[in-house]
C-alpha cells in the first residue's frame, strides 16, 4: 500500500522568542516575574505549519537560552530527530530523549507542534487524534500570585468581578495566614486551593493545613521543597487536614512511583514532562497508584494552554489559567467560558494568531 504522505519531505523547524507580559507582576515563593520569556516553535511540512511553545522555568534548570540551544541542535540534527513523517510524534519524542537529556520544555514545544501538524494534515483536532472525546472536563481555577495583602484583596475582587469560579492562591511566605484572610474577605465562598511552591517545612505544612481546612481550602500543592524525601511528604500527608499534591517533585512518569502513597495527587505540566505523550504516561502511572491528577502549566500563551487543554478530560482538576494572567495573549485557542476552558474546533491544537 502506498503511503499518502510524501516521506521525502523533511519537517522543518524554526523558532523565535515569545515574550509575554503579565497583567500583574506574578509572585510565587521563588520570586516575582513581570514577563515570561517563552519560545515559539514552528514545524513546517508541505504547506502546513504546526505551532508549539516552550515555557522554561529556572527551578527546572531551563532558561530561554537553553531552550534555543536545544532547538538549534534539533534543527541541526533534522534527519536524525525530526525526519519526514509528520505522524511520528512518538518516535520524534523518543529520539529527542535519546539524543538530548532533560530540557523538557524545549522538547514539549517540538512535540506539541508535531501534534498540531498531524491534526492540521488530517483536518482533526488533537484530542480526537489522541483518542479522547474532548468532553466532560473539570473547571479551571484562576491564580492569585503572592503580593501585599491590599493587592491580594484587589486582585481577588477583580477575579470575582470577572466571573472566575475557582481560585488558586500562591503561598509560601511569612504572612500566609494574612494572604488567605485577604482572599477569603473578597471571595468567602469560592472553591480555593493553595500552592506553596516548596515554601514550607514538614511542621509548617501540617500546621498550615489545619488553618487552611478551616478556611475551606480543598488541597495543598507542593508544600515541601522539590527535592524533599518521599518520607517527609508521607509524614505531611498522614497528619495534614486536607489532601497534598506534588508538583515540582514530579516531572516524568518515573517520578510518580517514588511518591506513591506519600501524596494524594500529582500536578502534570507539559513543560516539565516533555509533551502530551509523556503527560498521558504520567497520568496513567498516577492513576495506577490511585492518585488524583491536576493539569497545570507555566505562564504560557494560548498555544501552551490549548495543548494542555486537549488532555483535560483525563484530569480531576485543572489549573490552566496561564494565558488569562497575560496582558495581551498573542494567540487564541481554548477560550474561558463560565469556569471552563472550551476547546476550539479547529484542526490540530486549534490555535491561531489573535487579530
Ligand atoms: Mg504548582
pLDDT above 90: residue 70: yes
The pLDDT of residue 355 is 85
Cell of 182: 485577604
Q: What is the residue-averaged pLDDT of the chain?
A: 95
DSSP letter string, 103-172? -HHHHHHHHHHHHHHHHHHHT-BHHHHTT----S-PPB-EEE-S--HHHHHHHHHHHHHTT---EEEE--
pLDDT (0 to 100) of residue 1: 44
**Range 51-58 average pLDDT:** 96
The whole-number average pLDDT for the span 314-327 is 94
Q: How far apart are the C-alpha atoms of 5 and 128, rounded to whole Å?
A: 20
**Residue whose entry in the numeric block shows the C-alpha cell 516575582:** 32
pLDDT at 221: 98
Residue 6 has pLDDT above 80, yes or no: no
pLDDT tens, residue by residue, 200-254:
999 999 999 999 999 999 999 999 999 999 999 999 999 999 999 999 999 999 9
Q: What is the pLDDT of residue 126?
A: 98
- Domain 12-124 identical in fold to domain 129-353: no
Q: What is the pLDDT of residues 17-35, one digit of tens each?
A: 999 999 989 889 888 999 9
CATH topology of domain 12-124: Enolase-like; domain 1 (3.30.390)
pLDDT range class, residue 322, cuts 50, 70, 90: confident
Quote the ligand 1 centre to 334 CA distance (angstroms): 21
Give the distance (Å) from ligand 1 centre to CA of residue 337: 23
Residue 29 confidence (pLDDT) = 87
Q: Where are the domains of the chain?
A: 12-124, 129-353
Query: From ligand 1's centre to the CA of 123, what distance in Å?
Result: 34
Residue 94's pLDDT is: 97
The pLDDT tens digits for 87-109 are: 999 999 999 999 999 999 999 99
Q: What is the DSSP string of 273-290?
A: HTSHHHHHHHHHHHHHTT
Instruction: Calculate how far, in angstroms, residue 248's C-alpha sits from the geometric centre of ligand 1.
Output: 7
224 CA distance to ligand 1 middle (Å)? 11
2 confidence band (pLDDT: 50, 70, 90):
very low
Alpha carbon of 83 to ligand 1 centroid (Å):
35
Max CA pair span of the chain? 67
Supply the CATH classification number for the domain 129-353.
Answer: 3.20.20.120
Amino acid at each position: 500500500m502506498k503511503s499518502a504522505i510524501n516521506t521525502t519531505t523533511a519537517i522543518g523547524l524554526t523558532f523565535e522568542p515569545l515574550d509575554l507580559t503579565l497583567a500583574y507582576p506574578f509572585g510565587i515563593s521563588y520570586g516575582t516575574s513581570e514577563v515570561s520569556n517563552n519560545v515559539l516553535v514552528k514545524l513546517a511540512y508541505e504547506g502546513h505549519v504546526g505551532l508549539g511553545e516552550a515555557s522554561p522555568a529556572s527551578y527546572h534548570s531551563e532558561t530561554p537560552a537553553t531552550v534555543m540551544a536545544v532547538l538549534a541542535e534539533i534543527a541541526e540534527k533534522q534527519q536524525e530527530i525530526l525526519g519526514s513523517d509528520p505522524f511520528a510524534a512518538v518516535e520524534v519524542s523518543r529520539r529527542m530523549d535519546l539524543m538530548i537529556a532533560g530540557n523538557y520544555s524545549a522538547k514539549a514545544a517540538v512535540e506539541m507542534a508535531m501534534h498540531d501538524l498531524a491534526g492540521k494534515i488530517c483536518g482533526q483536532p488533537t484530542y480526537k487524534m489522541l483518542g479522547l472525546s474532548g468532553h466532560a472536563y473539570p473547571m479551571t481555577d484562576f491564580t492569585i500570585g503572592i503580593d501585599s495583602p491590599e493587592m491580594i484583596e484587589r486582585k481577588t475582587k477583580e477575579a470575582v468581578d470577572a466571573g472566575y469560579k475557582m481560585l488558586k492562591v500562591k503561598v509560601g511566605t511569612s504572612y500566609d495566614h494574612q494572604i488567605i484572610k485577604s482572599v477569603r474577605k473578597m471571595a468567602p465562598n469560592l472553591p480555593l486551593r493553595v500552592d506553596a511552591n516548596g515554601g514550607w517545612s514538614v511542621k509548617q505544612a501540617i500546621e498550615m493545613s489545619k488553618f487552611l481546612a478551616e478556611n475551606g481550602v480543598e488541597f495543598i500543592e507542593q508544600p515541601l521543597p522539590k527535592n524533599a524525601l518521599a518520607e517527609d511528604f508521607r509524614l505531611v500527608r498522614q497528619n495534614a487536614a486536607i489532601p497534598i499534591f506534588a508538583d515540582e517533585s514530579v516531572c516524568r512518569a518515573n517520578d510518580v512511583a517514588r511518591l506513591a502513597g506519600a501524596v494524594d495527587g500529582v500536578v502534570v505540566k507539559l513543560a516539565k514532562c516533555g509533551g502530551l505523550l509523556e503527560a498521558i504516561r504520567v497520568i496513567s502511572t498516577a492513576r495506577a497508584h490511585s492518585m488524583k491528577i491536576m493539569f497545570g502549566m507555566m505562564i504560557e500563551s494560548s498555544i501552551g494552554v490549548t495543548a494542555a487543554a486537549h488532555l483535560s478530560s483525563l484530569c480531576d482538576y485543572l489549573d490552566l489559567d496561564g494565558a488569562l494572567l497575560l496582558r495581551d495573549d498573542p494567540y487564541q485557542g481554548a477560550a474561558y467560558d463560565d469556569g471552563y476552558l472550551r476547546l476550539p474546533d479547529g484542526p490540530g491544537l486549534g490555535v491561531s494568531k489573535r487579530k
